Amino acid sequence: MVPRVRTFLLILCLLVTGASAAMPSESSPRPYLALGDSVVFGFITQAGFEYVNPTNFIGFPDYVGRDLRLNDVNAACPGETTGSFLSATATDHGCRAFRSQAPLHVSYGSTQSSFALSFLAKHKRTRLVTIMLGANDLFLLEEACAGDQTCIANGLPQMLATISANIATILGEIRASATRGSLSSRITILSTTRMRPEPR
């Protein structure tokens, strides 16, 4: 669980740093789009009947939106990988299975990437986008190696390169939306995957 703990602490630091840039000058709420995996979603293992109602799961976007006076839209999916975020055919770590059994905070039939770009095109007053991905990519490597440390160490460089390439694509698409004029010039994009995770 070390990568998730470090990632969570990092995003708290980033949000504190980016708060002034994300805060709208107007009193009315502006959109805040939260993207990512189970940490963003607020996932609880073996919650039981609570899964039928996504409002039972509270993630950090709920607190960020409240504190920054932004209207948070949480598009996260438990088990999302950087690959499945972009492609409906890429391997995930349970996101599709979760979506087939329980609702997300927001409903969409596409990839999370497609939803994000569509949302940003329609909500030009979006002030903040946070992205938290990468841990599930590493969990897949762990499982493929059956926990063998040598196997994990050998596969880690390629896995980190894949994560880096996918995150670069994701950030590039979001930034491209901004340069096309679909977003305010004051939007803040925070990503927590510009780090070197370690296997558990």
Chain centroid to CA 119: how far?
A: 15
What is the CA angle 163-54-111, rounded to 5? 35
Query: Considering the domain boundaries, does residue 154 fall inside one?
Result: yes
Identify the CA nearest to 74 among candidates 8, 19, 29, 132.
Answer: 132
Q: Do residues 80 and 39 touch, judged by C-beta distance below 8 A?
A: no
Q: How confident is the model at residue 138, as a pLDDT?
A: 96
Using the predicted structure, report yes or no on whether residue 98 has a pLDDT greater than 60: yes
Residue-number span of the structural domain to which 131 is assigned: 2-7+30-39+56-191
Query: Considering the domain boundaries, does residue 158 fall inside one?
Result: yes
46 CB burial (10 A radius; 0-12, 13-18, 19+): exposed
d(CA 24, CA 60): 19
**51-65, 112-126, 169-183: lowest mean pLDDT where?**
169-183
The answer to whether the pTM exceeds 0.85 is no
The number of folded domains in the chain is: 1
Query: Considering the domain boundaries, does residue 130 fall inside one?
Result: yes
- pLDDT tens, residue by residue, 132-172: 999 999 999 999 999 999 999 999 999 999 999 999 999 99
